[in-house]
């Protein structure tokens, strides 16, 4: 690997700052986490988006959340075909090895992946429709939900609605994994659908009784 470069200096400086302060003050906890292993209460599936930080929103301590982040917080359906499935591997590890009690899917406003999906569904993003587009093929997971939002009056309303459909799609697909389904049925695992508004700092939770996301 001859292409690797040194770390940008500003990151190096910040690392040394963290080491001398936050790490130093909590070294026994980090030591313990290393020696005894992690035991997170929940797995969170959220977006790669740089504006979404589930540990901040929920004041999480190191060791609390097992976090998978991908484009648009999507979980593909159960496909045990022997190929590489990063998201499915993360879910499998959290549920069957770590035995987390909660599985949170956290969607968010202004999601670029969801917007791309919407554009693609409207025929406005031919670059995402080619076979070679990884983003396009990834957003195919969400595409069938376009019908549910197509009649909304404008693009903004459609985006917000499709972002929430992404969360519901992931929850539905999670239930297609046998090890998730059986633990949900037995009460060992709880599924939770969340959506956060970046600009407003709002949080909505899906309520199956009402069939909609409600502000907390």
Give residues 3-22 in contact with a copy of itself (rule: CB under 8 A).
Answer: 3-22
Interface with a copy of itself (CB under 8 A), residue from 39, 122, 126, 144 = 39
Residues contacting residue 37 through CB under 8 Å, at least 6 positions apart: none
Tell me the C-alpha distance between 114 and 96, whole Å.
30
Q: At what angle do helices 112-121 and 155-174 cross, to 10 degrees?
A: 100
140 annotated ligand binder? no
Give the SS3 label for residue 197.
strand
How near is the Cβ of 180 to a copy of itself at its closest, in Å? 9
Nearer to a copy of itself, 152 or 172 (CB): 172
Does the footprint of a copy of itself cover residue 153 (CB under 8 A)?
A: no
Q: What is the footprint of a copy of itself within residues 189-208 (CB under 8 A)?
A: 189-194, 197-201, 203, 205-208
Q: Phi and psi (nearest 5°) for 207? A: -110, 110
Does the footprint of a copy of itself cover residue 154 (CB under 8 A)?
A: no
Q: What is the footprint of a copy of itself within residues 80-139 (CB under 8 A)?
A: 80-94, 97, 99, 101-102, 104, 109-110, 112-113, 131-135, 137-139
Which amino acids are annotated as binding site for Zn(2+), given as ranges?
A: 47, 49, 108, 111
């Amino acid at each position: 690997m001859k292409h690797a470069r040194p770390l940008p200096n500003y990151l190096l400086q910040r690392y040394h700052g963290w080491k001398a302060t936050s790490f130093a003050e909590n070294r026994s906890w980090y030591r313990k986490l290393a020696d005894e292993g992690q035991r997170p209460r929940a797995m969170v599936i959220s977006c790669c988006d740089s504006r979404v930080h589930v540990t901040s929103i929920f004041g999480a301590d190191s060791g609390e959340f097992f976090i998978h982040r991908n484009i648009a917080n999507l979980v593909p359906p159960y496909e045990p075909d022997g190929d590489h499935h990063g998201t499915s591997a993360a879910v499998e590890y959290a549920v069957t090895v770590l035995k987390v009690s909660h599985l949170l899917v956290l969607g968010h406003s202004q999601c670029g992946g969801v917007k791309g999906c919407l554009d693609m569904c409207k025929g406005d993003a031919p670059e995402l429709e080619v076979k070679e587009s990884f983003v396009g093929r990834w957003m195919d997971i969400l595409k069938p939900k376009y019908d549910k939002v197509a009649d909304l009056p404008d693009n903004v309303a459609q985006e917000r609605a499709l972002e929430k459909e992404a969360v519901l799609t992931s929850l539905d697909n999670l239930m297609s994994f046998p090890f998730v389904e059986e633990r949900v049925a037995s009460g060992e695992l709880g599924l939770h659908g969340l959506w956060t508004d970046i600009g407003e700092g709002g949080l909505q939770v899906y309520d199956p009784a009402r069939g909609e996301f409600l502000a907390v």
